Amino acid sequence: MNLYMVLGVAREASDDEIKRAYKRLARRFHPNVNPGDADAARVYREVVEAFETLSHPERRRAYDSGAFSEVHVTASVAFEGFDFTQRADGSQASTFGDLFGEVMHARVRRQEPERGADLHERLALSFEQAMRGATVGIRLTRLEPCGPCAGRGAVAGPEVRCYACDGAGHVRGTRGHMVFARACSACGGGGTLRVHVCQACGGEGVGVRADIVPVDIPPGVRDATELTVPGQGHAGRRGGGPGDLRLAIHVESHRFFRRDGDDVVIDVPLAVHEAALGTRVPIPSPDGPVVFRVPPGTQSGQRFRVRERGIRFRHGQRGDLVVDVRIVLPSVIDERSKELLREFGTLQTDNVRAHFGELTLENGPRP
């Protein structure tokens, strides 16, 4: 076991660096932060033990001089005041070698890549952005791959004795009363390692960063839906793939337009004479002003379609612009207008309430 590797620091690390590394790792693997996690508890004890030796000048000198390459010699010095005779499962550890074999096995297992978690964010879009699509910069605070180790959690360095087998190339295991040796999985039996735990990330391969990330919003996204952006979630640990970014979409309302499926609907007010006589009026459309041809005799509530002026989709098809006509009566205040309207009334031969049939007041309800 290499105590420097346990703390992820260089052999020439200062007392300060050792203390910092210890604090960081102790916080991560502390039993209070990882309740019920036996692996974390073991790693924690290992970190404490490495710190106890390396933070003590005499013990560190002795350790550096190689005076105790044997585990049981280290133990007599390093474990002063620590009770390591009890295993996590309560049974007696027969030797420190057994104990460490177990601890190190736990470390090796912890180093498997792990996919990053999905990141959930809200995104408000204007009506136009949702309709046409847009590239939006979104502020994200997320785990990103560690710079110094490029997310691998480990960096290349000088060749050192394997921490798992202490250079032997094999580790001892016990099954019942049988004691056997198996090839060390950390170094593949070679007994040496050239890979060190990255100091910047403590081997996790990730760090928290706030960033503005450009995200492509496809045209036609709907309000109250979720948009998944693959690979833009949290970075994976120890080289694992990233999670996805999941955006809860809110589309703001528009002062002219509203959405109906793939169509864009607009209310167009018309004056009485425009509706009756027909005309051409400029109206807003998603692509800018267009001319709307009002046919003579247009009724209030009538609906017209301007083809392919609605929501655009990635495959090129578009919805329509739907025009809902609303007839607005003029405010008749002056005598001249009233006179003209009365005269207009005498010319009107249409009975606009003909569908009621013949009504007489005698048939109605008594007041």
For the window 83-112, what string marks contact with Zn ion as x by the rule CB under 5 A? Answer: ------------------------------
Question: CA–CA distance from 1 to each of 5, 82, 164, 267 (Å)?
Answer: 8, 18, 6, 77
If one asks whether residue 197 binds Zn ion (CB under 5 A), the answer comes out as no
The least CB distance from residue 287 to Zn ion, in Å, is: 50
Q: Which two tokens stand for residue 57?
A: 């000048």
1 binds Zn ion (CB under 5 A): no
Question: Helices (H), strands (E): how many in the chain?
Answer: 9, 15
Q: Is there binding between residue 195 and Zn ion (CB under 5 A)?
A: no
Residue 107: closest CA among 194, 207, 184, 190: 184
- Residue 165 in the binding site for Zn ion (CB under 5 A): yes
**Contact of 36 with 139, CB cutoff 8 Å:** no
Among 106, 140, 143, 149, the residue binding Zn ion under the rule CB under 5 A is: 149
Among 1, 18, 123, 146, binds Zn ion (CB under 5 A): 146
Is 52 or 144 the residue whose CB approaches Zn ion more closely?
Answer: 144
CA distance linking residue 284 with residue 211, whole number of Å: 37
Q: Does 9 contact Zn ion by CB under 5 A?
A: no
| Site track 297-326 with Zn ion (rule: CB under 5 A), x = hit | ------------------------------
* CA 186 to chain CA mean position, Å: 33
- Among 106, 184, 215, 321, interactor with Zn ion by CB under 5 A: 184
- Round to whole Å and give the CA distance between 40 and 22: 14
Q: Which of 106, 162, 235, 247 binds Zn ion (CB under 5 A)?
A: 162
The binder of Zn ion chosen from 201, 229, 264, 325 (CB under 5 A) = 201
Least CB distance to Zn ion at residue 236 (A): 13
The DSSP line for 280-324 is EEEE--TTS-EEEEEPTTPPTT-EEEETT-S-B-TTS-B-PEEEE
Identity of the residue, 134 or 200, whose beta carbon is nearer to Zn ion in the bound complex: 200
How near is the Cβ of 144 to Zn ion at its closest, in Å? Answer: 11
Name which of 42, 38, 12 is nearest 25 in CA terms: 42
DSSP 3-state assignment of 327?
strand
Residue type, 300: S
Q: Which of 198, 217, 229, 321 binds Zn ion (CB under 5 A)?
A: 198
- For residues 1 and 163, is the Cβ–Cβ distance under 8 A? yes
Told to check if 164 binds Zn ion by CB under 5 A, we report: yes
- Nearest approach in angstroms of CB 1 to Zn ion is 10
Residue 138 or 198 having the CB closest to Zn ion: 198
Q: Note whether 21 binds Zn ion by CB under 5 A.
A: no
3-class DSSP assignment, residue 273: helix
One of 125, 186, 221, 325 touching Zn ion (CB under 5 A)? 186
Rounded-to-integer distance, Cα 43 and Cα 111, Å = 12
The least distance separating Zn ion from the CB of residue 103, rounded to whole angstroms, comes to: 13
In order, the DSSP letters of 120-144 are: EEEEEE-HHHHHH-EEEEEEEEEEE
Q: Which of 200, 249, 281, 283 binds Zn ion (CB under 5 A)?
A: 200
Q: Least distance in Å: CB of 162 to Zn ion?
A: 3
Considering the complex, state which of residue 114 and residue 262 has its C-beta at the smaller distance from Zn ion.
Answer: 114
Residue 20: CB minimum distance to Zn ion, A: 15
| 68 token code pair | 């105790």
* Whether 163 contacts 6, CB under 8 Å: yes
Residue 344 CB neighbours (<10 A): 10
Q: What's the CA gap between 192 and 2, in Å, rounded?
A: 11
Q: Which of 41, 138, 187, 275 binds Zn ion (CB under 5 A)?
A: 187
215 near Zn ion (CB under 5 A): no
Which residues bind to Zn ion, rule: CB under 5 A?
Answer: 146, 149, 162, 164-165, 184, 186-187, 198, 200-201
